[in-house]
Amino acid sequence: MVTQLPASHPLVDGRTGGSPLVRASRGLRSQTLPVWFMRQAGRSLPEYLELRKGVDMLDSCVRPELASEITLQPVRRHGVDAAVFFSDIVVPLKLVGIDVDIVPGRGPVFAEPVRDADAVARFVAKVRDALADDDAKAQLFAPIRDAVELTIAELGSTPLIGFAGAPFTLAAYLVEGAPSKDHLRARALMRGEPELWSELAGAIAELSSAFLETQILAGASVVQLFDSWAGSLSRELYGQAVAPSSAVPLGRAAQFVTPEGERVRSIHFGVGTSHLLTDMHAAGGDVQGIDDRTRLDEAIERLGGDVPVQGNIDPATLFAGAEVLHAHARDVVAQGAAAPGHIVNLGHGVPPETDATVLTELVEFIHTLPGDGRLEA
């Protein structure tokens, strides 16, 4: 069902539709290359660390004024071409009543993992109750809506990127109960009880869809779906058990359009997913995010040469000195010239120990390069 964006939306009232990032997401080039960094909101900024003192991570995500301020900080500091909404992929789970905590140095830890039919049934019931109707969804995501609206009011022509966790990554966390390197329990459930897995992933897909929908209606101009752990899967298993649920939130985002029929564009990103790039793009998303384990030109060729891409500066080069970093960034930009649109980003998130000055200078450097990515030798 196609839904028209409200008249006050930045894509409708003219604030962000012509921005380099939105244009790149549509496969169009601008005079300058758009650049933003995954995990730019928070992590390395001294002002973020000061603001977060004494405040729990997940609590900070549902305080609208705090979440908005953290979202805006890297735009002011670095001059990036987009803000990314400050939140966490487990926030929707927290909001529906799942007992989860972000443990420093470890990640999301769940008090009660979801590993059998009874647990899945309880989880699905919670999600269905929370998303029962529009009023229930509005109440559930009110802090998210308010934070996005506060942010949009300050951003002007800079677009906001909304985001959500992909169903597989969130389901893997739920089943494992905490971060895992191999996701053995999740993969066992996928293979041993595929119908139960489908029920779990389907409920999360609806939750992620509603999370994205809230951000879009409140003013997000582009959205990104993060599938942090998809790289642990074979192509066969991804296609059978993951792609159908990932297609749901990406498809929902694409249903929101301007009066002129321009739909909200989406970015699909995973880590270690070189072998899954074509499958991920087939599942949905206008822009394919590329991590730093795959050469950007190789990824573009594999995708057919007609897909906008995002990436993929190696985060390690942030610590290698300006000369090495700039040479690497030039190479990434040159490789990206083969795509119709290129959003410059890291191949993964900003490491927390990054010197913020390095990021600011990197943005300035990328903005000196030609928007078509065609560099002189």
Q: Which residues, 6+ apart, have CB-to-CB distance to 191 below 8 Å?
A: 237
Query: What strands lie across the sheet with 342-346, from one edge to the other?
Result: 83-84, 160-165, 222-227, 265-270, 287-289, 309-313, 342-346
CA–CA separation, 247 and 341 (whole Å)? 22
Closest CA to 173 of 153, 191, 159, 189: 189
Closest CA to 206 of 258, 276, 129: 129
Q: Which residues, 6+ apart, have CB-to-CB distance to 226 below 8 Å?
A: 89, 163, 164, 165, 166, 169, 269, 270
Q: Which domains does the chain have, with CATH numbers?
A: 3-366 (3.20.20.210)
CA–CA separation, 271 and 230 (whole Å)? 7
One-letter amino acid of 353: E
CA–CA separation, 294 and 316 (whole Å)? 15
∠ at Cα 26 (25, 29), nearest 5°? 85
What's the pLDDT at 106?
87
Each of the 377 residues of the chain gets a pLDDT tens digit; together they read: 899 999 999 999 999 999 999 999 999 999 999 999 999 998 889 999 999 999 999 999 999 999 999 999 999 999 999 999 999 999 999 999 999 999 888 889 999 999 999 999 999 999 999 999 999 999 999 999 999 999 999 999 999 999 999 999 999 999 999 988 889 999 999 999 999 999 999 999 999 999 999 999 999 999 999 999 999 999 999 999 999 999 999 999 999 999 999 999 999 999 999 999 999 999 999 999 999 999 999 999 999 999 999 999 999 999 999 999 999 999 999 999 999 999 999 999 999 999 999 999 999 999 999 998 888 75
CA–CA separation, 189 and 206 (whole Å)? 20
Burial level of 137, CB count in 10 A (0-12/13-18/19+)? middle
Q: Which residues, 6+ apart, have CB-to-CB distance to 60 below 8 Å?
A: 52, 66, 67, 70, 86
Q: Which residues, 6+ apart, have CB-to-CB distance to 235 below 8 Å?
A: 275, 276, 279
Bridge-partner residues for 257, per DSSP?
Answer: 4, 263
CA–CA separation, 310 and 305 (whole Å)? 13
Report the length, in residues, of the chain: 377
What's the pLDDT at 44?
86
For the chain, the 3-state helix, strand and coil shares in percent, each to the nearest 5, are: 50, 10, 40
What's the pLDDT at 259?
96
Residue 113 CB coordination number (10 Å): 15
∠ at Cα 96 (95, 102), nearest 5°? 50
What's the pLDDT at 43?
80
What's the pLDDT at 377?
56
Burial level of 186, CB count in 10 A (0-12/13-18/19+)? buried
Extract the tokens encoding 17: 């539709």
Extract the tokens encoding 25: 């997401």
Alpha helices of 177-231 — where are they, by DSSP H? 184-192, 194-218
